[in-house]
């Protein structure tokens, strides 16, 4: 059983969190295997994945010692509790749902609340969120992150949306502690074809880009 601090350290190294919106629950395990083979060990299975809780349970059971299986798109307490019971090791919400923080912390797990504005980001931080998910980041860009961190340098920011192999270095050099990568890492084509070999290569490229930016 990993401690919260151990989980946090693994999320930050190499600092690439795969945002998984699979088409089928049975894709979760081979998809996670492919990511881990490429060096991406943080796998956020979103609740938009069909039968997401079952997928989290299976992936956690089969890869829990080699990967961090987390849950994303958590919007309420019941979902948070169900995911934790299924073995999720970190919690991510796209919104500033502050009541999720004590649930995650009681279970000894880190949590990432979503924010778009400086006020939302600071409120999430004050609520105890371990990380701040700036989402969607594609319309904001790196300059927004720099501007946000100027008065709020204590925020541990993880941008999601707009992070790809061209921008990952810019986000990390701007002070982000990690990044969330969805379709730029796990493309529609990969999911349609179950092309896990390509996913492993793409994951390795993301890891290399992240490490070279530190």
Is residue 56 a contact partner of residue 71, using CB atoms and an 8 Å limit?
A: yes
d(CA 131, CA 74): 15
Q: Is 133 helix (H, G, I), strand (E, B) or coil?
A: strand
Q: Catalytic residue positions?
A: 44, 133
Is residue 23 a contact partner of residue 192, using CB atoms and an 8 Å limit?
A: yes
d(CA 156, CA 111): 12
Number of residues that make up the chain: 214
């Amino acid at each position: 059983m990993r401690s919260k601090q151990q989980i946090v350290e693994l999320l930050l190294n190499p600092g690439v969190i795969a945002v998984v919106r699979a088409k089928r629950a049975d894709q979760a395990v081979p998809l996670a295997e492919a990511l881990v083979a490429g060096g991406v060990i943080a796998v956020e299975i979103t609740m938009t994945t069909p039968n997401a809780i079952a997928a989290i349970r299976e992936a956690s059971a089969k890869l829990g010692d080699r990967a961090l299986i987390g849950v994303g798109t958590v919007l309420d307490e019941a979902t948070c509790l169900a995911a934790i019971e299924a073995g999720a090791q970190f919690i991510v919400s796209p919104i500033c749902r502050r009541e999720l923080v004590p649930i995650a912390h009681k279970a000894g797990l880190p949590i990432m609340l979503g924010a778009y504005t400086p006020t939302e980001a600071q409120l999430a931080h004050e609520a105890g969120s371990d990380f701040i998910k700036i989402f969607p980041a594609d319309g904001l860009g790196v300059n927004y992150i720099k501007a946000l961190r100027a008065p709020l340098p204590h925020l541990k920011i993880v941008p999601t949306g707009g992070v790809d192999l061209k921008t990952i270095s810019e986000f990390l050099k701007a002070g982000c502690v990690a990044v969330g990568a969805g379709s730029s890492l796990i493309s529609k084509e990969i999911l349609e074809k179950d092309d896990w070999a390509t996913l492993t290569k793409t994951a390795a490229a993301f890891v290399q880009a992240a490490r070279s930016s530190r």
